[in-house]
Copies of this chain bind each other. A is one copy, B any other.
Amino acid sequence: MTNLPSIKQLQYLIAVHQHQHFGRAAEACFIGQSTLSSAIQTLEETLGCQLIERENRSLMFTDIGEEVVIRAKKIIADTMSVKELTKSYKHPLSGKLTLGVIPTVASFIAAPLYQFCLQQFNQLQLVLVEDTSDKLLDKLEHGHIDMAMLALPYHTERFHTQVLAKDHFSLVHHQDYEIAADVSDLNLLPDKSVFLLEREHCMTGHALSACHLNRSDCINPFEAANLHTLLSMVEYQNGVTFLPQMALNAGILQGKPIVTNGVLGDAYREIGLLWRKTTGRIHDFRLFSEKVGEFVNQQCEQAKKEN
């Protein structure tokens, strides 16, 4: 058996790297400075090379030291995930779970989702975070959130993706606005009559591709930052836009002189849950996505036979 570095040694090394200071690192690890000093020395011995250059009053990690720190971090993270794994096995869906949700979903289901989880998982302390898709993926990668709920398709190989539900788009317009009864090809809509969210918004892309909108002339250059601004434009400028079923079910049109023109056949976005592939709480997440999947499906349900 080869003599490998120990978990503790790696933890201590990481601490020194974080604090760039032996004393403070030792404090953070709840051990004495001397202990840490000798631990690092032993580690350097087993690895057969210097990791840290101790100078007058400052530290300096060697190239190889930096590389070792990177790998050590991964090893520690993996080891902690083993503990998480066994813990979530013993106490399913307990403790804190931080879920990131994109705005065009959170607006409509954050509150009922929170209520739902409170009932379903009474051991769980759910924390919701609202942000854009990009930001959420960043947070997910860095461990600031445990899972992300966003609209698919969204290109990412980095994480495990679990599809929960289809959320169909409907065409909506002012109740007085006359529109051809049969709008099979949406590209035939009048010039500048289609209002959308800002271009960077993932829902804009989803609406465009799901509705096969390729004639840019019919799209109004105005870019809304949120759905309510968008709706007010549609209301006053007598245009049209696309709303996901989830928004309609949440009553976004209530009290407004805007009506839906019915669901558009195969135009939909998908709601999905993402998590880190290396997570230790895989059981938790599977269980969570199963239950929440049912809930989200319900939120996206199309009213049967509604005239």
Contact = CB atoms under 8 A, between A and B. Distances in A.
Interface of A: 1-2, 4-8, 11, 29-30, 46-49, 64, 67-68, 71-72, 74-76, 78-83, 85-87, 89-90, 280
A293 to B, nearest CB: 23
A75 B83 CA distance: 13
Given A48-B86, A48-B87, A4 B68 contact: no
B82 A47 contact: yes
Given A47-B83, A49-B86, A71-B81, 15 more contacts: A1-B29, A1-B30, A2-B80, A4-B79, A4-B83, A5-B7, A5-B79, A47-B86, A48-B87, A49-B89, A68-B82, A71-B82, A71-B280, A75-B75, A75-B78
Nearest to A88: B64
Contacts of A48: 86-87, 90
16 contacts: A1-B29, A4-B76, A4-B79, A5-B7, A5-B79, A5-B83, A6-B8, A47-B82, A47-B83, A48-B87, A49-B89, A68-B82, A68-B86, A71-B82, A74-B78, A78-B78
Residue in A68, A71, A79 with the greatest tally of chain B CB atoms within 10 Å:
A79
A3 B234 CA distance: 58
A48 B84 CA distance: 10
A48 B280 CA distance: 14
6 closest Cβ pairs, A-B complex: A47-B86, A49-B86, A75-B78, A64-B89, A71-B82, A4-B79
A191 B72 CA distance: 61
A79 B11 CA distance: 13
Contacts of A74: 78
A72 to B, nearest CB: 7
